[in-house]
Structure 1
Amino acid sequence: MRRLPYQLKEILVPVDGSDASLDAVALACALAKRNRGKVYAVYVIEVARSLPLDAHMGAEADKGERILEEAERVAKENDYELEGELLQARDAGHAIVDEAIERGVEAIIVGVEPHVAEGGYEWPTEGKPRPVAAEVPLGRVARYIVEHAPCEVWIIRRPFPAAS
């Protein structure tokens, strides 16, 4: 029997402070709340290879804590509590997939902002603009997650900006 999306209990949400990642937090909370599940929000600091992995990352760690606090605020707005974690790794995508494996989550929900293809927008005679490229490009981290995660991966993409 197929599991329906609203039956997810363990969800991981990578956050970067973008509106899209906070939308992903809200969706994850709504889904997990229905089943008394858990939502884990992670912010990953990518540490340069020239530094030790456990290097003190001061400003970047402060930024990550602020972003995790914002994710917690979004969860509270949805009458839910999440568990936030700040990670340091060489590669964010790899760290997120490893965290998903370690926690045994059923899904990763990734919020992505729209990227404009090199050719810009194609403006149809009706409706909204769409990227010229046949596929919507994903960033490096989202692409790695999609290609390597052992669980479901949901992509939440924000709308393209309106035509001016």
Structure 2
Amino acid sequence: MYTKFLVPVTGKKADDDIVRTACVLARRGKGKVYVVHVIQVSRALPLDAEVEPATQSGERVLANAEKIADVMDFQVETEILQAREVGPAIVDEAVERGVDMVIMGLEYKKRFGEFDMGDVVPYVLRNAPCPVLLWRGPMGEAEA
């Protein structure tokens, strides 16, 4: 049974769906949902540098996740992480928290005419210590 879920949010449309999904799954097992937003810090800056615009944006993204969970009458833990790379930060957080599943959102986008998952999702799929559930958004009009 899955009881601890890590949900990385980015501010994209899929966030609402993955937070709802995590809350539904966690409620079944009386589990916990950890929602994180990762700020990628340039190597030119110290890792703990104050990156105010990104922090404010991350706080808005996490507030939205909390609002969705509240509507579902479920409480989530939220945290902003700062890291050099997003994928390793998500995997490290999954290990630290001992989660049973990572639930990630992915927008449908094309690059060079083909569906592209970017760099973060493949990294997490290859390296996460637990199952990873992907929620891919619908195709846009241009791709249909």
Common topology (TM > 0.5) = yes
Q: CA deviation at 1:76?
A: 1.0
Aligned residue for 1:106?
100
**8 Å contact kept, 1:22–1:111:** no
Aligned residue for 1:146?
125
- Give every structure 1 segment of 4 or more consecutive aligned residues whose post-TM-superposition deviation is greater than 4 Å: none
Q: CA deviation at 1:117?
A: 4.2
> What's the C-alpha RMSD, in Å, of the aligned pairs?
1.3
Could you tell me which runs of 5 or more consecutive residues in structure 2 were left unpaired when the two chains were aligned.
none
> 1:9 pairs with 3, 6, 17, which one?
3
Partners of 1:60 and 1:52 in 2: CA distance: 15
> 1:96 pairs with 55, 74, 90, which one?
90
Identity of aligned residues (%): 46
SS at match of 1:109: strand
State the TM-score, normalized to the length of structure 1.
0.83
Aligned residue for 2:56?
62
What is the CA deviation profile of residues 112-142 of structure 1, one whole-angstrom value per residue up to 9, with x for unaligned ones? 00012423xxxxxxxxxxxxx4xx4212111
Q: Give the greater-gyration-radius structure (CA).
A: 1
Aligned residue for 2:26?
32
What is the CA deviation profile of residues 68-104 of structure 1, one whole-angstrom value per residue up to 9, with x for unaligned ones? 0000011111111100000101011100100000000
The within-5 A match list for 1:125-164 is 133=114, 136-162=115-141
Aligned residue for 2:45?
51
Given the alignment of the two structures, is residue 77 of structure 1 paired with residue 71 of structure 2, yes or no? yes
SS at match of 2:87: helix
> Aligned partner of 2:36: which letter?
V
Could you tell me which runs of 5 or more consecutive residues in structure 1 were left unpaired when the two chains were aligned.
1-6, 120-132
> Aligned partner of 1:154: which letter?
L
Say which structure, 1 or 2, has more relative contact order (CA 8 Å, 6+ apart): 2
Partners of 2:90 and 2:76 in 1: CA distance: 16
